[in-house]
Structure 1
Amino acid sequence: MKKNLFLLGFMACSMTMMGQTDQNESWYFKLGGSFFTQTAATEFPTVGGNAALSKVYVGGKLISEESVTGSFGEGFRTGFTAGYRFNQRLGVEMGVNYYNSTDKTMAQTMTDNIFISGGKPVFNFKSVGQITAFDLAPALVLFLGEHKGFEPYTKVGVLVPIHGDLVITTDAIAPTGVPNPATVAVRSVDKVKPNPTLGFMSALGTSYKLGKNISAFAELEYRNFTVHGKTKETTEYTVNGNDALATRTQAQIHTNYQDKINVNSNNASTNASFDSTKPMDELSSYVGISGLGLTLGLKYSL
């Protein structure tokens, strides 16, 4: 569906360019801010061995469980765009944007009492993720004509993330296995670096002339792409507020994501010769960044 929309927009812009003879070439620049809401929620990947679930225990019994879903498409964006009009109808843009998603709970467990279930302790924890990213956004723009200062337009393009990461912060009240103290407060911060990816965007907007060269503009934009994890590194690990990162092994600190793991992978579940002095191999994880946003800003035309 996304490919069809992109091709349709490209064909419309191309036909307009071929049929347009009244040249009005010019450069313009835009500066704006956006707020996006998520449009498609999917189940989050496993976080630190914990499935994307929200569980509640009372008296050692599970009383509530639900899948944790969402998208990192909700958040704020600021951006600068340079545009060039070939004529009155057709133009191209290149945007440079910084995006900061809102926090999303990815997994959590709440219990009134720590206990053992299936040989493993059940304790309170919560993992929260946030994405920050810089991206490039080349697009084709179709201007629909000016009327009383307003000039509506549509555009389609792609998103090319050039830098960014997913930061997952986990806070837990974990058992120690000894009577005194019975529990400790543990915090870990993991930074996931992505593989190169490509996304899709389309927008409907309008500008309004405030002066000879200055206009205000507003855009309603849909954007969608998926981030595929490449590596993960624990950058912070504290116990009761004290730095304890040095107590972690290389396998606990560093992860390489793979499409599959087998007996040759450095993973204890598949390889009896697991080496804790080397990064751990884990299955690849994906998160979605799908959102509908409103952008407001100013446009300067040369």
Structure 2
Amino acid sequence: MKKQLFLLGFVICSMTMVGQTEKKESWYFKLGGSYFIQTAATEFPTVGGNAALDKVYVGGKLVYEESVTGSFGEGFRTGATVGYRFNTRLGVEMGINYYSSADKTMAQTTTDQIFISGGRPIYNFKSVGQISAFDLAPALVLFLGEQNGFEPYTKVGVLVPVHGDLEITTDAIAPSGVASPATLAVHSVDKVKPNPTVGFMAALGTSYKLGKNISAFAEVEYRNFTVHGKSKETTEFTANGQNALAGRTQAQIHTNYVDRLDVNSNNAATNPNGLDSTKPMDELSSYVGISGLGLTLGLKYSL
């Protein structure tokens, strides 16, 4: 009986010692850089009254038309992360990242001559969008065990954009409205501010020990969220190289995005009194996607 009790006590002590050995509460910090490719393409929203289309005219006739689709999920990201391990298997992280997307053409028209069709001029223009944003990324981490210096892990979490915008640059050769010069080289920059949103992320990675406290890590990450426009402001507007922003009305410079247009909206299409040019124009809200698959490489320092 005493022998059995001794063995039982020995086993309990051994388990306690193993548990203490495996217990691994610690803080760690990570710095890394990522490159993402887009994983889902959707049709871009209307840009400055122009549908998301790529059109080509020859001799005043439409010879080519295609929907412009894409995602702002392609681009570069840099970030810093602080993490805490509760034990050998479970931890949490909080990352702060800066993301800059690749330029994406959102609408364009190419024509060999400027002409009038359906009461509106057809001219050459191209609108290109680019997103830049800071986000917070809280995540739950599951460590899968260390072997030969490698420690694979998985994590899931959310993305919370805290600052950023969609910048749309448009260059056009447009009719001037007078006989000479016949055209104007117009350049404009619009910045779209988003409504608050939350996205999803999941990653599979591994770290590799380089020293007692420092490791290299690599992660493959999928993320997906949608940005809903809140307002738009024209920050640059030039004609033939000359600043012409002061000549634009408030309705031309500022836009409020709404879910519905009615007779009370400041929009000529629905308001019987027409557009009040002294106030921001109301337009239907639009969405753009940021869906991407990325590879992150960096260094990890454990306390």
Shift of 1:272: 2.4
Distance 1:186 1:243 in 2: 10
* 1:147 match: 147
* 1:278 match: 279
Matches within 5 A, 1:259-270: 259-270=259-270
Structure 1 stretches of 5 or more lacking a match?
1-18
* 2:43 match: 43
Does the CA contact (< 8 Å) of 1:261 and 1:281 recur in 2?
yes
Note if 1:30 corresponds to 2:30: yes
Matches within 5 A, 1:96-107: 96-107=96-107
The letter for the 2-side match of 1:163 is H
Note if 1:168 corresponds to 2:145: no
Note if 1:82 corresponds to 2:69: no
SS where residue 157 of structure 2 aligns? strand
User: CA offsets per residue over residues 30-78 of structure 1, 9 Å max, x none?
Assistant: 0000000000000000000000000000011111000000000000000
Distance 2:176 2:81 in 1: 53
Shift of 1:186: 0.2
Shift of 1:176: 1.2
Distance 1:124 1:268 in 2: 25
After the TM superposition, list the runs of 4 or more consecutive aligned residues in structure 1 that deviate by more than 2 angstroms: 19-22
Does the CA contact (< 8 Å) of 1:185 and 1:240 recur in 2?
yes
SS where residue 251 of structure 2 aligns? helix
* 1:222 match: 222
SS where residue 153 of structure 1 aligns? strand
Distance 1:49 1:239 in 2: 19
* 2:292 match: 291
Shift of 1:177: 2.3
User: CA offsets per residue over residues 119-147 of structure 1, 9 Å max, x none?
Assistant: 11100000000000000000000000001
Does the CA contact (< 8 Å) of 1:40 and 1:71 recur in 2?
yes
The letter for the 1-side match of 2:162 is I
Matches within 5 A, 1:62-141: 62-141=62-141
Matches within 5 A, 1:138-217: 138-217=138-217
Shift of 1:21: 9.6
Does the CA contact (< 8 Å) of 1:200 and 1:225 recur in 2?
yes
Structure 2 stretches of 5 or more lacking a match?
1-18
Q: Percent identity?
A: 84
The letter for the 1-side match of 2:143 is F
Distance 1:90 1:145 in 2: 11
SS where residue 231 of structure 1 aligns? strand
SS where residue 218 of structure 2 aligns? strand
The letter for the 2-side match of 1:294 is L
Shift of 1:255: 0.4
Distance 2:265 2:121 in 1: 27
User: CA offsets per residue over residues 173-224 of structure 1, 9 Å max, x none?
Assistant: 0001222100010011000000000000000000000000010000000000
User: CA offsets per residue over residues 71-97 of structure 1, 9 Å max, x none?
Assistant: 000000000000000000000000000
Distance 2:254 2:177 in 1: 26
Aligned residue pairs total 284
The letter for the 1-side match of 2:104 is K
Distance 2:192 2:20 in 1: 47
Aligned-residue Cα RMSD (Å) equals: 1.2
SS where residue 276 of structure 2 aligns? coil
Does the CA contact (< 8 Å) of 1:81 and 1:94 recur in 2?
yes
User: CA offsets per residue over residues 101-129 of structure 1, 9 Å max, x none?
Assistant: 00000000000011110111100000000
Scaled by the length of structure 1, the TM-score of the pair is: 0.93
Distance 1:190 1:244 in 2: 14
Shift of 1:240: 0.7
Shift of 1:23: 1.7
Distance 1:181 1:105 in 2: 28
The letter for the 1-side match of 2:204 is L
The letter for the 2-side match of 1:89 is R
The letter for the 2-side match of 1:275 is D
Distance 2:90 2:63 in 1: 59
* 1:10 match: none
SS where residue 45 of structure 1 aligns? coil
Scaled by the length of structure 2, the TM-score of the pair is: 0.92
The letter for the 2-side match of 1:86 is F
Does the CA contact (< 8 Å) of 1:20 and 1:89 recur in 2?
no
